Amino acid sequence: GSNCHQIEGRMLWMPDTLNWDSAHNAEPMVMVLNNTNVELSGQNYQPKKLAKNTFYGSVGLGWITSKIYMPQNSRGSIKNGIDWTFGYDWVSKSKWGVGFKYSGYHSSCIVEGSNLDVTITYLAPQLVYRTQFEKWTLEEHFGIGYYRYNESAGRYGYFVGGFGYNFDFGLEYLLSKNFGLCANIGYLGGRLSGMDDNLPDDTFGGIFRVNLLAGVRFHF
């Protein structure tokens, strides 16, 4: 026959093309399972872990719920003021942990023409519970510690300390692995027996307040 239209070429033979094709169509190493980021390691999927250590700081408003007996000729009230909290938490794999909290409150009013400043300080170890849903974290704190009330007017001052406790509930949104924005609502109470002498017989010395705070958290 004629050789006018002959074509010459070379072919590359790959003996394991079936496995090669399967490898290129395998599942990615990072998958999405039930809307939660997980890593593929053999057949075991590990959910995202809670950070063990957290430092946090928050500031907001506080309201004293106790009955306050103000002196005559006073203007304003110490029942509303600025509230703040700083603390550290350690949480285990079981979502339970321990921590330490410092909480403060400040308010002022006018009494007999002088400015009266009131500061309440609270220091306590506390029990922590935290759980996480994607970028949202829910947590609770409960603590028992030292409660101190301090007031000052000019050169004069007075303070009394006692037993206190706290409970708060918080919600956090994670901006990244290490940082988050949080909001907390809490309740703090303190038994101040040093105030009993100045109160009616059917009452006892103590200051109880609620607060609403917002702040930042650092995890590692």
Using one digit for the tens of pLDDT, what is the confidence trace for 190-212? Answer: 998 877 776 667 777 889 999 99
Greater model confidence, 50 or 214: 214
Mean pLDDT over residues 103-118, rounded? 92
Q: Which of 28-32, 151-155, 173-177 has the lowest mean pLDDT?
A: 28-32
pLDDT band (50, 70, 90) for residue 32: very low
Of 110, 143, 148, the residue nearest 128 (C-alpha): 143
pLDDT band (50, 70, 90) for residue 84: very high
pLDDT band (50, 70, 90) for residue 23: low
Distance in Å from the first CA to the final CA of the chain: 81
pLDDT given at position 56: 98
pLDDT band (50, 70, 90) for residue 25: low
Residue ranges in 59-129 assigned as alpha helix (H)? none
pLDDT band (50, 70, 90) for residue 78: very high
pLDDT band (50, 70, 90) for residue 40: very low
Residue 72, phi then psi, degrees to nearest 5: -65, 160
Greater model confidence, 154 or 137: 137
- Taking the C-alpha atoms of residue 146 and residue 29, their distance in angstroms, rounded to an integer, is 51
Query: Angle CA(163)–CA(62)–CA(131) in degrees, nearest 5?
Result: 80
> If you search the block for the tokens 């009955």, which residue do you land on?
67
The tokens for 76 are 């304003």
139-152 tens-digit pLDDT: 999 999 999 999 99
Give the count of beta carbons closer than 10 Å to the beta carbon of residue 164: 25
- Taking the C-alpha atoms of residue 63 and residue 142, their distance in angstroms, rounded to an integer, is 19
pLDDT given at position 196: 75
pLDDT band (50, 70, 90) for residue 214: very high
The tokens for 124 are 């306590």
Judge whether 186 and 165 are in contact, CB under 8 Å.
no
Does the pLDDT of residue 37 top 50, yes or no? no
pLDDT given at position 165: 97
Chain centroid to Cα 68, Å, comes to 30
The tokens for 178 are 């290490």
- Taking the C-alpha atoms of residue 88 and residue 43, their distance in angstroms, rounded to an integer, is 36
Mean pLDDT over residues 46-50, rounded? 60
pLDDT given at position 80: 95
Judge whether 166 and 186 are in contact, CB under 8 Å.
yes
Q: Mean pLDDT over all residues of the chain? A: 84
pLDDT given at position 33: 46
Does the pLDDT of residue 7 top 80, yes or no? no
Give the count of beta carbons closer than 10 Å to the beta carbon of residue 20: 10
